[in-house]
Amino acid sequence: MKRRAVLKATGGIVLTGGSVMILQRGIPTLNPTETQSDTTSESSEAVNSKTTFPIQLSTLGAEGSTERTVRVPTAGMPTVIDLFATWCTPCQAQMDALSTVYSKYNDQVGFISVTNERIGGTLTRADIRSWWNEHDGRWSVGLDPKSKLMNILGAQGLPYLAITDTTGEIRWEDTGMTSASTLQRELDAVLSESEDENENENENE
């Protein structure tokens, strides 16, 4: 099955060029000993990363999320991956659809929301935790300050959603607002495929 992608210019924040660089690294904060060229070099190195799935990410202690290291995607289980930022207004609205779908599928599907915002300066872990709790997050919330996950997914805007199958292959992705009904339909398709594959394996044994 081909990876299906939908890019919407409405209902989300679509970035190109240098704006994507800022999104992937967060807004740079220079240390007293850093120069702008130092920061640009660091960003370019991250964007050109060859990292692939699966990866390990740290999660934040918050509602539904414990502070630990998790595997993305979840091993042996379809996974919904959500990229967000606390400054992204459409990401707030996206949480409503995610919460609806999570309530129905959390025993069959892994869920993780990930921000690449960098902790420090004006943003603290408490700020992200407060945003998460305020918008009814009930699953793992990951921290990805080096934008490894964004690079793998090739995300060009926020909010961004992807669904992987049991093998970790991306089956569907979408940039911009996604409705609960659309997300449910795509999850049903992935789960159905997984069931068919399991039945075929059992028949061949």
Domain-wise residue ranges, the chain: 4-28+36-204
Q: What is the pLDDT of residue 108?
A: 96
Q: What is the pLDDT of residue 155?
A: 95
Q: What is the pLDDT of residue 129?
A: 97
pTM to 2 decimals?
0.79
Q: What is the pLDDT of residue 43?
A: 37
Q: What is the pLDDT of residue 195?
A: 84
Q: What is the pLDDT of residue 41?
A: 39
Q: What is the pLDDT of residue 87?
A: 97
Q: What is the pLDDT of residue 202?
A: 55
Contact yes or no for 187/105 (Cβ under 8 A): yes
Report the share of the chain in percent with pLDDT over 70.
71
Burial zone of 204 (CB within 10 Å; 0-12 exposed, 13-18 middle, 19+ buried): exposed
Q: What is the pLDDT of residue 30?
A: 33
User: Is 3.90.180.10 the CATH classification of the domain at 4-28+36-204?
Assistant: no
Q: List, for the chain, all residue ranges whose pLDDT scores fall below the cut of 70.
A: 1-12, 14-51, 198-205
The rounded distance, in Å, linking the Cα atoms of 91 and 140 is: 16
The rounded distance, in Å, linking the Cα atoms of 163 and 169 is: 8
Q: What is the pLDDT of residue 194?
A: 85
